[in-house]
Amino acid sequence: MANQMEDKKILSGSPRITKVSFFGRVSAVIRQHFQQIFSSFSELWRTPFATLMTVFVLGLALSLPSVFHVLYKNAERVTGQWDGASEISLFLKKDISEPRVQVLINKLSLYHDIDSVTYISRHQALEEFKEMSGFSKALNYLDENPLPAVLVVVPTKNAMTSAGSKLLVVKLQREQDIDLVRVDIDWIEKLQAILALVVDIVIAIAVLLLISVLLIVSNTIRLNILSQRDEIEVLKLVGATNSFIQRPYLYVGAWYGLLGGVVAWLLTLGMVTWLQSGVMSLMGLYQLQFEIALLNVEEVVILIGIATGLAFVASYISVKQYLVKIEPK
């Protein structure tokens, strides 16, 4: 009986094992992750020069595809304005009378793919040619006006494409009073082909630069692991798991990508702003109202997200390749 009483005293005096709730465990894990995130950020600045050089190289590599994207986006807007400004010139037969011209104008106005029709008489065409050519005195000696009347047709928005303009030209050529249909579609097709080639080149360059980002971050994390080999061995000796040891390196890689993405955005903004004055002057020569479109908020988020994701993947690859090989001796 006495022994039983002593056993009860011993049991009552032993420390109690308390169970941690599920939410407590989750909050502890989240707190641990946040601690490692901020500690990994401070770890970057133990070597500020090397960190700044790495971040700048990443930003430079990421800014080139970003700048190409902005230039292509604005080139599409420019070609859209040129397509909208394209006109179709209809040279009428010389013997056509004014009433028949008016009938033809009314008929063309009913076309669903024609926005407006402007009539230029033979006399107006001759006067414009005199002003443009500078041979007004020589042209006064002509017995007859050699220029035909012209109808300037502006297609609707749906017919401003190359294919739509071709269909409209085919319909206009069927009109009996029209002698010649003239529209400059070839240069639009050539420009679109050039833009398609530029897109392929940009994609190839972007892929190469993104691969370089992977290699830069992977090599940086590898050097960090090798320089901290002794610390990793000590952590493994005291029982730290690989997942616990590798987590700060993954966050370091993500920080590299995040900072590199921000630098890429700033470089893109600076380069496009620097080019803006030259582009505005060029557009002024073509009498086009144009303003360069920069990266919007969604595109900036995508740029930084891609940079962070690539750097995280690169650090994961490097950690899996080198960290598991380090074992305490």
Say yes or no to pLDDT of 135 above 70.
no
Write down the pLDDT at residue 193: 79
**Mean pLDDT, residues 115-134 taken together:** 73
Matching residue, tokens 């050529």? 173
Say yes or no to pLDDT of 83 above 60.
no
DSSP conformational letter for 177? T
Say yes or no to pLDDT of 234 above 80.
yes
Helix (H, G, I), strand (E, B) or coil at 205: helix
Which two three-digit tokens encode residue 180? Answer: 């010649």
Segment of 161-175, 282-296, 302-316 carrying the highest mean pLDDT: 302-316
Write down the pLDDT at residue 4: 41
Q: With bands split at pLDDT 50, 70 and 90, how would you rate the model's confidence at 323?
A: confident
**pTM metric for this prediction:** 0.62
Higher pLDDT, 73 or 267: 267
Q: With bands split at pLDDT 50, 70 and 90, how would you rate the model's confidence at 17?
A: very low
Q: With bands split at pLDDT 50, 70 and 90, how would you rate the model's confidence at 75?
A: confident
**Mean pLDDT, residues 58-70 taken together:** 88
Write down the pLDDT at residue 126: 67
- CA–CA–CA angle 122, 125, 131 (5° rounding): 145
Q: All domains of the chain, ordered by start, with CATH?
A: 36-81+189-325 (no CATH), 87-183 (3.30.70.3040)
Write down the pLDDT at residue 267: 92
- In the chain the beta strands, taken as DSSP E runs, fall at 88-92, 114-120, 150-155, 178-182
Q: Which residues contact 182 (CB under 8 A, 6 or more apart)?
A: 88, 89, 90, 91
Say yes or no to pLDDT of 283 above 80.
no
**Mean pLDDT, residues 213-241 taken together:** 84
b/e per residue 219-250 (b: at least 16 CB within 10 A): ebbbebbeebeeebeebbeeeeeeeebbbbbb
Higher pLDDT, 204 or 124: 204
Mean residue pLDDT across the chain: 78
Q: In what order do the strands lie in the sheet with 114-120?
A: 114-120, 150-155, 88-92, 178-182
Q: With bands split at pLDDT 50, 70 and 90, how would you rate the model's confidence at 8?
A: very low
Q: Which of 306, 308, 304, 316 is nearest to 218 (CA)?
A: 316
For residue range 91-122, list pLDDT tens digits in order: 888 878 888 888 888 888 888 888 888 888 87
Distances (CA, A) of 41 to 29, 44, 64, 158, 300: 19, 5, 26, 53, 22
Matching residue, tokens 């490097």? 318
For residue range 173-197, list pLDDT tens digits in order: 888 888 888 876 666 667 777 878 8
Write down the pLDDT at residue 39: 79
Calculate what percentage of the chain has a pLDDT beyond 70: 74
**Mean pLDDT, residues 32-49 taken together:** 79
DSSP conformational letter for 45? T
**CA–CA dist 308, 304 (Å, integer):** 6
Segment of 9-13, 187-191, 313-317 carrying the highest mean pLDDT: 313-317
Higher pLDDT, 6 or 307: 307
